[in-house]
Amino acid sequence: MLPNCPINKSDIICSEEILGPNLGSLKGKTTRKTPSRVHITTLNDLPDELLEQHKNVTLAIDIMYINKVIPFIITTSRNIHFGTAELIKNEKKSTMMTSLKQIIDAYSARGFKIKHILAEGQFECLRKNLECEGILLNTTA
C-alpha cells in the first residue's frame, strides 16, 4: 500500500464493478475463440397433416424488376405462404414457362400439386402450356 493514500483495496474492487475492467489492458490479452461448427439439418418429410390440408396449392405470380432493368418472376403460395423469386433473361413465353416449370417441380418434389395460378394478363400466353400440366390460369381483367 502507498503511504498517505486514501484509496484502499475495496475502493478498487468497487470501481471495477461499476466501470468494468480496463478495456485497454484486456484487448491485448484476449484471443478469439474458434466458434462451433454449424450443423445443417434438412427436412426430408413434411408432416402428413400439412400435406393433407394443403396438398393443392394456389400460386399468385407476377414479374417484378430490380432497378427497372432486371426481371424476376415472384410467386407466393396461398395458405402455405411460401415465396420464390426466379431471375429471368426476358419476358418471352419460353423463358417464363421454363421458370414456372422449375417452380412447379420444386413444389412437386415436396408432395404439393399446383392447381391454380393467379396472374396478370401478360401470363395469358402460358394458358395452354399450363392446362397441359393440369393447372388452371386465372388472369386479371
- Mean per-residue pLDDT for 50-61? 88
Residue 28, SS3 per DSSP: helix
Query: CA-CA distance, 25 to 17, in Å (whole number)?
Result: 16
Domain that holds residue 102: 48-139
Which residue in the block uniquely carries the three cell numbers 461499476? 18
Instruction: State the pTM of this model.
Output: 0.65
- Check which CATH number belongs to the domain holding 123 and give it: 3.30.420.10
56-111 per-position pLDDT tens digit: 999 999 999 999 899 999 999 998 888 999 999 999 999 999 999 999 999 898 88
User: Within a domain: residue 17?
Assistant: no
Which residue in the block uniquely carries the three cell numbers 484486456? 26
User: Within a domain: residue 125?
Assistant: yes
3 secondary structure, DSSP code: T
Number of structural domains found in the chain: 1
Sequence-distant (6+) residues with CB within 8 A of 26 are none
User: Within a domain: residue 42?
Assistant: no
Which residue in the block uniquely carries the three cell numbers 402455405? 80
User: Within a domain: residue 6?
Assistant: no
28-41 per-position pLDDT tens digit: 677 778 888 887 76
User: Within a domain: residue 126?
Assistant: yes
User: Within a domain: residue 135?
Assistant: yes
User: Within a domain: residue 40?
Assistant: no
User: Within a domain: residue 43?
Assistant: no
